Amino acid sequence: MSPEELGRSEKSIRWKLYDLKLIPFPGDLVPGPRTPVEPEAPKAYSVEAKRQLHPNAYKPWDPEDEKRLAERCAQGASLSELSQEFGRNEGAIASRLLKIQAKGPAADDAWEYGG
């Protein structure tokens, strides 16, 4: 009977036979050693460096800040204005506006950031 008739590959049958201790270890099926992974390049920035420009970068949003963000957006504030007011970059503001489903011009502009 062939492996195809059993609905299995030759490799799977050989490994099963080894598991059942019916054949020796199938060393030819074991992949060679892996090549070492290149170390990651250091980031081009740090959180501390980002906070020099945007003091609240990477900090969690408070519910009160989200509410104020939605209100300011509804009042017509731009992404740039909101960025300055909340101490976060425009991408972070855009992302949060979309998450909280805010209404207003800045929320409309937020879609340009990949929303």
- Condensed to tens digits (0 to 9), the pLDDT of residues 33-56 reads 888 888 888 877 889 999 999 999
What lies within 8 Å, CB to CB, of 84 at 6+ separation is none
Q: Is the pTM of this model over 0.75?
A: no
Q: What was the pLDDT predicted at 38? A: 83
What is the model's pLDDT at position 111? 85
CA 36/CA 61 separation, integer angstroms:
40
**pLDDT tens string 87-100:** 999 999 999 999 99
- Is the pLDDT at 115 greater than 60, yes or no? no
Contact 67, 33 (CB under 8 A): no
